[in-house]
Amino acid sequence: MQHTINTNTPLSFCGTDVGLNWAVAQAPGLVTHNSQGGIVLNLVDGTAVTATTSKTRAAIAHGAMMIVAFAILMPLGALLARHKWLFGRKEVGGCRAAP
C-alpha cells in the first residue's frame, strides 16, 4: 500500500515539520512492540525523513533517578513523617507529649 500527500492545497499549520511515531506488535493483546520507529514529515513538500534518536542515555538517567527516589527519598519521607516529634513537634501520635 502506498500513501501519498497532496501538496497542491495550502496547509494551515504553524510549522512545516511534524514528528510521527509508530509501533507494531505481531501478537494480539498487551505485549511489547517488536517493531517501532519514527519519521519527520515535512507538510509543505510532502517529504519524510527517518527520525534517529538515541534514548539509551536518557533511559539510564531516568533509571538512576528512580532508584534514588524509591530507595532513598521515599523511605526518608516516611521516616520523617512518622518521627516528626524529633524535630521539635510537641505531638506524638496525635497526643500532646508530657512537658
Helices marked H in 1-99: 56-68, 74-82
Residue 33's pLDDT is 74
- From the list 5, 9, 72, the residue with the least C-alpha distance to 41 is 5
Rg (CA), the chain: 27
State the amino acid at position 69 in one-letter form.
A
Which helix (H) or strand (E) is 23 found in, with range? Answer: strand 17-24
Q: Is 46 left (phi over 0), alpha (psi -120 to 50) or beta?
A: left
Residues facing 25 on adjacent strands: none
Average pLDDT score over the chain:
76
* Cβ neighbours for 23, distance < 8 A, ≥ 6 positions apart: 33, 35, 36, 37
Residues 13-60 have pLDDT tens digits of 556 788 888 788 888 888 777 777 888 888 788 888 887 666 788 888
